[in-house]
Structure 1
């Protein structure tokens, strides 16, 4: 009879994969720096109780802001910079719907970065999204098919 044992390296690898998968499903929940709930901070509150005093005319976002909800007043601007690499580039940020209009964001300095800017043009909600590979793609090396997703919800109200 053959005896099968779980090797230490296999157990460590399995543990690492489980931690990675658990981290992929975790959401920030608005606890990133600058995500307080004071008026004018541009953070989440029930949309039925939003007032212009709860929203901001401008916001800047980074990759650390994933999962946040930002509130802008009509006419406000949102700018974002997602730092990527040539091996793990961000896709262009999309904002479907009519609440936000893309405006000139300037130049992208580094390959793999995603730079975008939007103007709040109409009341409504938009979901900004971008993705990038979880692992770098290098010739001759094993790669993983995982994707890192970045999302921010933007609520736009009249001032």
Structure 2
């Protein structure tokens, strides 16, 4: 059973939902702009019909990888939206996660995203420390940043 302090610091499910949405928008808006621009650029050229969709999907994949793995690894466990909302990722024992840990969390978003994200939300609501599947496997917590944390 988690300590009361840990439980209180991890009771951020609502913030995590907003954070997830903001981080996805940060990636989706430029990807959508690239999709629209590439459709306009190749209009009339049937041999390049799959280029816009491919660019869009690659941009989404790389963008999410950067936002969810690279950025937190270089900014003390915080995505851009986590910084805005006062959240950060730590290990279960309070340390900084490794790049591999962030990658595990990112890969398991496919499980958490099942049923339009309902699976991850349900697991967060039911787990004692409000962890989604990716957090449980990677042994990480998303906590509210306190005044003494960087």
Larger % of helix: which? 2
Which category of TM-score, normalised to the shorter sequence, fits these structures?
Answer: under 0.3
Work out which of the two has the higher radius of gyration on C-alpha atoms and give 1 or 2: 1
Q: Higher relative CO (CA 8 A, sep ≥ 6), structure 1 or 2?
A: 2
Task: Output the TM-score relative to the length of structure 2.
Answer: 0.28
